[in-house]
Amino acid sequence: MLEVQIFTLYPDLYPGLLDVGIYKKAQEKQKWSLKIIDIRDYAFDDNRTVDDTPFGGGSGMLLKPDVVASALDKNIKAKEKIIYLSPKGKRLDQKDVKSLSKLKKINILCGHFEGVDQRLLETRNIEEYSIGDFILSGGESASFVFVDALVRLLPGVLGNENSTKDESFENDLLEYPQYTKPRDWEGKKVPEVLFSGDHAKIKGWRLSQSEAITQRQRPDLWKKYLEKKNEKY
pLDDT, tens only, 5-40: 999 999 999 999 999 999 999 999 999 999 999 999
91 confidence band (pLDDT: 50, 70, 90): very high
163 confidence band (pLDDT: 50, 70, 90): low
Instruction: Return the pLDDT at 102.
Output: 97
CB under 8 Å to 75, separation ≥6 — which residues? 5, 7, 37, 107
Instruction: Return the pLDDT at 92.
Output: 96
Instruction: Return the pLDDT at 141.
Output: 96
Residue 26: strand, helix, or coil = helix
For the chain, give the mean pLDDT.
Answer: 93
Stated pTM of the model: 0.86
CB under 8 Å to 5, separation ≥6 — which residues? 34, 35, 36, 37, 75, 76, 105, 106, 107, 108
Neighbours of 222 (CB within 10 A): 19
168 confidence band (pLDDT: 50, 70, 90): low
Q: What are the beta bridge partners of residue 148?
A: none
pLDDT tens digits for range 217-230: 999 999 999 998 88
Domains along the chain with CATH numbers: 2-151 (3.40.1280.10), 170-231 (1.10.1270.20)
Q: Which residue spans within the chain are E strands per DSSP?
A: 2-8, 32-38, 51-52, 62-63, 81-91, 105-110, 127-130, 184-185, 188-189
Rounded distance, CA 92 to CA 104, Å?
Answer: 19
Q: How many CA atoms lie within 13 A of 131 on its CB side?
A: 20
Looking at residues 107-118, what average pLDDT do you find? 93
Instruction: Return the pLDDT at 180.
Output: 93
Q: How far is CA 121 from CA 86, 96, 111, in A?
A: 11, 19, 12
Instruction: Return the pLDDT at 114.
Output: 87
CB under 8 Å to 129, separation ≥6 — which residues? 83, 84, 85, 86, 89, 90, 91, 92, 96, 146
SS (H, E, C) 38-72: EHHHHCCCCCCCCEECCCCCCCCCEECHHHHHHHH
